[in-house]
Amino acid sequence: MVNQEHLKRVREIISDMTVEEKVSQLTNDAKRIPRLGIYEYNWWSEALHGVARAGTATVFPQAIGLAATWNVELMKTIASVISEEARAKYNEFQREGDRGYCKGLTFWSPNVNIYRDPRWGRGQETYGEDPYLTSRLAVAFIENMQGNSEHMKAAACAKHFAAHSGPEQGRHSFNAVASEKDMRETYLPAFEACVKEAHVEAVMGAYNAVNGVPACCNSRLLKDILRDEWGFEGHVVSDCGAIEDISENHKYAPDKVHAAAYGIKNGCDLNCGTMYELLTDAYEQDLVDDNDLDLALEHLYLTRMKLGMFDESTEFDDIPMSVVACEEHKKLSLEAAHQSLVMLKNDGVLPLKKSGVKKVAVIGPDCDNEEMLLGNYFGTPTEFSTPFRGLREYLDGAAEVECFKGCDFFERDEKLLAQAVKAAEEADTVILCLGLTSDYEGEECDAFNPFQAGDRTFIEFSPAQSELAEAVYEKNKNIILLSFGGGAFAYKENADRARAIIHCWYPGEQGGRAIADVLFGEVSPSGKLPLTFYKGTEDLPDFLDYSMKNRTYKYFEGEAAYTFGYGLSYTEFEYGTLSVEADDDKARISVAVKNTGGFDAFETVKIFRKEKIQLANQPLKSLIRFGKEFIPQGESRTFTFTIPKEESFRINDEGKKEYISPAEFDYFFEK
């Protein structure tokens, strides 16, 4: 509920503003109003996997890597650390009088869009392809970013609302056509959880149109669903430049003044950009009125009020800069990287033994690439642990460790190839590091690549890297493949020729150390895939088609290379019989899991369901619960879950919930 005292104070402030002053507060770079004692404030800050674009910070694995941990408690701790560093940096910026870009407390994170297609370059920012997994991780992130104190510690923002997951090329004019069923079953649930459960402070509108109406002036999304149906009380911000798109690219408004008016009248409170400066003209033309301006300002100023920006002090003012990138936070980044690594294959070669290696060749364009650690939207770490550096540090002279690029990411280089092949021939162990960096996949404005403005056109490794791999396989049979990227790869022949495969995502500043620890058995891998790894690009539907038919594990009718939730361990877990007690009120599910192998390790239990009588146009199966526990050798843990009747429904073709008895589902786990 809105704090009435805050609302009273906000309305008093707004009542003293002129129209021009009101308008000056509605862009991300809000201006100073000296006569009212209001400082300038830039609303644009980022914190996707650490405080970003504002100097030194702890850099955690990219969001998709955090999703691969399947660890809600870990996500809570990471979000708390990010908000602590955010406040420390904000305090320092305030002391310096620096109120510029990325120096505030309103963070445009997390990205809760659904990673529906592995070619989408920004999929790396998400928590994967499943609405339930996404919502659990997003709620944990938001609650712990925002905190539970007298003042809000930092404001989170769920983006991009809605049905936004590529293409990057043409995103400013693209119209996502999605059925009501797909909207309610796939594209909206995570946003709903962010609003209803986590009380997220902000929601960002998308660039694209949704079923013909630009998202940032879409009253059905921003008013009917977000505020009226879900009860959202925070503020809505446009993606950067999205208001201008309303007229200039979507051609939905006749000119820029009308575009600005459409935005604010239909529920977009804040413009990232300068278009809302035209609201003065819109006001003079009677396209908007004081009520439109005042309502947007109320939403915005309530956020600033919650953050303590109009109070003399807050409980966070004494958080020092010494917490930023401190050793404790680095250890947390290392732990997150450990848990994010997903082992896809192991013929028994792993874990390696220090005594068993004498000469290690680390080969590939990602072998010593600092940018690969970071993904996009990142801060500046105080150190970079690449695969090469991590292995060299771990072995510490016990074995010779050398690094050879072998090729550029997309270009063959005969000299580099010859060096790598010679090294592979002479080494007893080869660590082959293939994949991408965010230079080649990411946001339209950030990626410079041979693909489509940040999206991939294929999910296989590039021809240059495939040629490198083939040449190395011919010289050495003891090859461990590490893949790096923000999404799925099709491994093709690598799946047969590599002895082990670990997918490492963009693993953060401590990535190399984490990789070394896992390769040598200091830590058992526990990451699980948060998205489907397909056999090849040919398995994917048209990228522009927003229908969920034949997409993600819930609807894909083919055979995946590695399924959603897949990930190997060094130990063995024995599952007991699944106990299910279901009636019309709830389903209670439990299963005992015992670590029967030789390593202490984490295990993730994943509970799915499907209707006993499978209807047409319904998911093949759906994740409904998961839990992750550390289980020492020889010990057991019992996982128990309760699913209330409120969650027992299907979505029909009209997008409506049809409630059915929890007893009408089959429940099962997948290891």
327-555: CATH architecture: 3-Layer(aba) Sandwich (3.40)
Residues 6+ apart with CB under 8 A from 668: 578, 607, 608, 609
Distance CA 144, CA 64 (A): 18
Does residue 239 have an active-site annotation?
Answer: yes
What is the reported pLDDT for 453? Answer: 83
Residues 6+ apart with CB under 8 A from 658: 649, 650, 651, 652
Q: What is the mean pLDDT of residues 331-359?
A: 98
CA dist 96 to 45, 50, 90, 274, Å? Answer: 17, 22, 10, 26
Burial of 15 (0-12, 13-18, 19+ CB in 10 A): exposed
What is the reported pLDDT for 632? Answer: 98
Distance CA 268, CA 249 (A): 18
- Which of 546, 601, 606 is closest to 343 using CA atoms? 601
Torsion of CA 287, 289, 294, 297, to 10 degrees: 20
Distance CA 633, CA 600 (A): 5
CA dist 646 to 197, 264, 643, 657, 659, Å? Answer: 15, 35, 8, 10, 8
Give the Cα-Cα-Cα angle 99, 103, 108 (nearest 5 degrees). Answer: 125
**pLDDT > 70: percent of the chain:** 99
Q: Which residues of 630-660 are buried (b: 16+ CB within 10 A; e: fewer)?
A: ebeeeeebebebebebeebebbbeeeeeeee
Q: Which amino acid is at 621?
A: K
Check whether 38 has a pLDDT greater than 90: yes
Q: Could you report the per-residue pLDDT of 200-238, keeping only the tens digit for each? A: 999 999 999 999 999 999 999 999 999 999 999 999 999
Distance CA 70, CA 73 (A): 9
Q: What is the mean pLDDT of residues 184-206?
A: 98
Is the bond preceding 447 in cis, omega lying within 30 degrees of 0? no
Q: Could you report the per-residue pLDDT of 2-28, keeping only the tens digit for each? A: 899 999 999 999 999 999 999 999 999
What's the topology of domain 573-669?
Answer: Immunoglobulin-like (2.60.40)
Q: Quick one: tokens of 490?
A: 């099709």
Active-site option among 130, 239, 292, 335: 239
Q: Quick one: tokens of 539?
A: 């398995």
Asked whether the CA dihedral 450, 452, 455, 458 is positive or negative, the reply is negative
- Residue 256 · residue 193 · CB < 8 Å: no
Q: What is the mean pLDDT of residues 340-344?
A: 99
What is the reported pLDDT for 448? Answer: 59
What is the reported pLDDT for 452? Answer: 72
3-state helix, strand, coil in the chain (%, to 5): 35, 20, 45
Q: Which residue in this structure is represented by tokens 């030789």? A: 598
Q: Quick one: tokens of 548?
A: 């969920």
- Residue 379 · residue 56 · CB < 8 Å: yes
- Number of other residues whose CB lies within 10 A of the CB of residue 238: 31
Q: Could you report the per-residue pLDDT of 387-411, keeping only the tens digit for each? A: 999 999 999 999 999 999 999 999 9
Residues 6+ apart with CB under 8 A from 473: 479, 497, 498
Q: How many helices (H) and strands (E) does the chain have?
A: 19, 23
How large is the greatest C-alpha to C-alpha distance in the chain, in angstroms? 79
Distance CA 225, CA 392 (A): 54
Secondary structure, 3-state, 551-584 = CHHHHCCCCCCECCCCCECCCCEEECCCEEEECC
Q: What is the mean pLDDT of residues 660-664?
A: 97
Angle, helices 463-475/414-426, rounded to nearest 10 degrees: 30
Q: Could you report the per-residue pLDDT of 408-456, keeping only the tens digit for each? A: 999 999 999 999 999 999 999 999 999 999 999 999 876 656 567 899 9
Q: How confident is the prediction for the chain on average, in pLDDT?
A: 97
- Residue 54 · residue 89 · CB < 8 Å: yes
Q: φ, ψ for residue 371 (rounded to 5)?
A: -60, -30
Check whether 462 has a pLDDT greater than 90: yes
Does residue 493 have an active-site annotation?
Answer: no
Q: Could you report the per-residue pLDDT of 282-323, keeping only the tens digit for each? A: 999 999 999 999 999 999 999 999 999 999 999 999 999 999
Distance CA 447, CA 460 (A): 18
Residues 6+ apart with CB under 8 A from 596: 571, 572, 573, 574, 634
Active-site option among 117, 368, 441, 455: 441
Q: What is the mean pLDDT of residues 529-557?
A: 98
Q: Could you report the per-residue pLDDT of 101-119, keeping only the tens digit for each? A: 999 999 999 999 999 999 9
Nearest-Å Rg of the Cα atoms of the chain is 25
First to last CA, the chain: 42
Q: Could you report the per-residue pLDDT of 482-524, keeping only the tens digit for each? A: 999 999 999 999 999 999 999 999 999 999 999 999 999 999 9
- Residue 609 · residue 622 · CB < 8 Å: yes
Distance CA 346, CA 351 (A): 9
Q: φ, ψ for residue 415 (rounded to 5)?
A: -65, -45
Residues 6+ apart with CB under 8 A from 389: 368, 512
Burial of 440 (0-12, 13-18, 19+ CB in 10 A): buried
Return the bridge partners of 403, or none.
362
Which secondary-structure segment (H or E) carries 545? none
- Number of other residues whose CB lies within 10 A of the CB of residue 520: 18
Kindly list the domain boundaries of the chain, sorted by start residue: 327-555, 573-669
- Number of other residues whose CB lies within 10 A of the CB of residue 519: 28
